Structure 1
C-alpha cells in the first residue's frame, strides 16, 4: 500500500500468525470466567483499535520517521490521523482482544475538498482535517534535500483521504463473531464532535449497527450488562455491547449505545499488588466481589488502562501487575502477537497445554495453574488434596487444607488474577489442587 513513494508492507487481513499456546491460554481464561459477571472478567483491548495501518492509516510512518528522525511515531497517535495500531480488527480479535475502540466521524469532512458534505454517512477515521501542516512542509523539505519527490497526497493523513465506511468495519467484526459463536465483544465508539449530534446521524449509525448485528446488540433498555455473565449473555443471544464516552447518541429509536462508557477509569498505571489502588481509589472500591451479579445494589464498573499493556512495560505499568490486580481492560498502542502471552495469567506454560482432556489441575509453586497428575479423568480429581478453600463471600481470602475447609470457607477455584495471586500466597510454595478441567471448565 502506497502514498506516493511512501509504501508499507502489510499483512493480509486475517493472516497475522498467533501462538497456539497463547490462544489456548486465553480461551482457558474465558472458559474459567464463563459464569463470572462481565465486571469480573479479563478483556484485552487496544487504543484507537480501528485506526490501523491495515486499513491504510499511517502507512507513511516508516518513511516519515526516516526523513524526520526527531519526529516520534509508533508511540501513540502522533502522526495526526490517530493511527495507533498495525493490524486489522479481525486480526486483533484472532489475537484474543475483546474490547475494541472504533473512532467514528460523519462525512462532513468532505467539505471543502470533495463536497458536498455527507452529514448522515458514518465513517471510521480519527481526524476530519489534516492536523499538522508543519509536518507536511518538513517532510517535503527533507525529501527534496535528498532529491526525492514524495508525490504524496497529504490529505491521506486525515479522514479526507483515508477512511472506512462504518458498516464495512462492523461487517468484518460480525464475520469473526459468526465463526466464533461463543464469544462476546465490547465495541467502544469514540464518536468525534458533530458526528452523532443530529438525530439523522444517529439514525444512520444505528441503522448500520442493526443491519449488521440485529438482536445480538445489548440495548440500553435491557439494563446494565456488567452484572451478567458470558453464559447468561449467550443464552439471551446478546453478544455485542456498544459504549461511548460522553458525546451521546440522540435517536428517536431505542438506545443502542451506553453513555458514559461501562468503565470508570482510563488510568496510566495501577499500584503494585496487593495494594492495587487506581488513582487513589482503594482496591475494594472498584473490584467486584465474588458475589456480584445483576441484582447487586452497589454497582461496579469495568476499569481500563489506556496506552499501556505491551510486553516491555514494567512496574506499575506492567501487564503482569495489572493481571495480578484483576484490571479488566488494557488498551495499548501497536499491540503485537508476542504481547498477548503476558495476559495469560491463569496457566503455566511449562505445565499446561491446549487440547488436554484429562488430568488433575492445581496451583503450582509458580503461582499459576497447570497439570499436576496427567493420568486420571477429571471426574477423579475433585477428591485430591491439599485443596483450596475460599472465604464464603470473599475471594481475596484463601487457606489451604488437607481434610475439609474450615467454618466460613468453601472449596473453590480462583477466577480472577487477584484471587489466584492470593491463593498462591496462601499456598506458600506448595502445589494445591483446584477443581477445574484442563480446558477451564469448573468441575
Structure 2
C-alpha cells in the first residue's frame, strides 16, 4: 500500500482576501508535513522464517513491528535476529528460527533431548557439541527438523572382536547391533549357523561375537550285523570232538545318519534310515555224543633185577650154567601222578610243530595241543586255544590228561612218555 500526499481542493474565487490566503497556506503546510511523516514510517523488510523468506511492509520502525505485521508469535527458545526491540530500516532482513526438539537416543534406548534452532540433523548435532563424523546415525544427516521435532539413534564407535570362519578380527565400529556389525564386515549367516548372542543385541564396547558355521548332511554307512552260533549233536562223533558244519558270516545293513558338524567338527549324528543289504548266516558246530573207548590200563612196572650172587670162596668154582642177559625191550613206563614230569614239548612238537597259534586246515583244532573248541572250553578255556598264551595251553592240556589220559591224543599221545 502506497501513501501519497493529499492535494487541497481549490475553488476559483475572484479576488481572495489576504486573510483567506494566509489560512489556506497554513492548511496546506500541515497537510504536506503529515504526508511526509507517514512516508518516514512506511518501509519494506525481508522476513526469513526457518529458512523461508517473505516481504513484509510495516509502518513501524522496530523488529517487533515486523513480527506483528507477519502475525508471528515467538517464545524464549526461539531465535529472532535482530532482537525484537531493535530498529530496522527499509530493505533490512529479520531472521526467525523456531526452536524444535531433537531427541538423540543411544542403541540401548537411553535418550537425551536437545532444543535447537538449527534446521538439519547434522547442524543440530554439531551445535550440541556432538562429534559424529565416524558415528552411525539412524537418519540422514541432511534431514530437516520439523517444528514437531525429530528423534534419531546415534551409535558411537567402539572396539569389539568378531570370531568367524577361522579368523579373529578386532575392529572399531559404530555398528549399533550385532546384526549391523555382521553386515559391515560382510559376514553372512544361513539358517543353521549359530551366533554367540542374538543378532538384535546392542553391541557393547569390548564385546566378542562368535559365529559358528553349522552344516547338516546325510551320511550313509555300512554297518555289520553279528551272526549267531548254534550247536547240533552228532551221535557218530566222539564226545569232546566237534566240527564246524557252517562257518557262518555277519550280515550288513546300510544306515543313513543325519550328521551335524560345527566349524568342520562332527557334533552329533542321528539315525534316520536303515536297510538290510545282507542277512547274517548262523554258525553251526556239531559236537559228538558218542562215548570214547577207554584207553588200556598202563603196563606193570618191570621187576627189579636180582642181587648178584656172592663170590665163590678161593679155590672154588662158579655155578654151572653160566650167565645170560634178557633180550626183550622194556615197556613204556607207567604214568605217575606228577603230570609235570611228562614230555609235553614232545607232544606239542608232534601235534602242532610247537606253534601255539596254529589252526588245522578244517578249522576244528587249535594251538599247541590241537584242542577242539568244545574240549578247550570243557577244561576252563575261553574262546579258542590258539588265542591263548602257550603257558595256558600247556596247563589246560595237563588238566585234560589228568581227567582223560593220553588217549585224547591218539596219534601223538605216546610222545608224552618218550
What is the TM-score when the length of structure 2 is the normalising length?
0.19
Structure having the higher helix fraction is 1
What is the TM-score when the length of structure 1 is the normalising length?
0.18
- Greater relative contact order (Cα < 8 A, sep 6+): 1
